[in-house]
Structure 1
Amino acid sequence: MKQAEIRKTGYKALIDSLGVVGMLRFLQQLEIGNGDYTQERYQSSEPTLEELRQFTMERSSDSTQKE
């Protein structure tokens, strides 16, 4: 079987089993991502304790000013 025939047979099987919408949802889940999530996750910087403290202080003063 050629690639095009395999693809066509696969789409037909998915449609027969899941319907058109189900097939599309399934295929969306198979979309290939890019990059290295694990590496990128650890490269992003976490806020420091000082930044968190400052953020909570600002939020606290904002909420008391609105009252």
Structure 2
Amino acid sequence: MPPTEPPNQGFQDLVDTLGYVDAVRFIKQFDQGHGDYTKDRTQWLDHLTLDEILSPDF
């Protein structure tokens, strides 16, 4: 079996079970994205107080 076959078969199994749209949604959960989340989060949260972060409107 070529090394590309297991991922292809796995995705096909997801499509067969979940349908194409939900299979793609499932796979996208594991997308690592890009950038530096820790650095970005620090910039977003630096100007907020703990009370603001914990408020139900946050």
TM-score (norm 2): 0.57
Q: Does 1:46 find its partner at 2:17?
A: no
After superposition, what is the alpha-carbon deviation per residue over 1:19-64, rounded to whole angstroms, capped at 9, x for unaligned? 11111111222222112212221134517xxxxxxxxxxxxxxxxx
The match for 1:15 is: 15
CA RMSD of aligned residues (A): 2.0
Letter aligned with residue 46 of structure 1 = H
- Higher Cα Rg, which structure: 1
Unpaired runs of at least 5, structure 2: 49-58
Unpaired runs of at least 5, structure 1: 48-67
Q: Does 1:5 find its partner at 2:10?
A: no
TM-score (norm 1): 0.52
After TM superposition, give the deviation of residue 3 of structure 1 in Å.
2.7
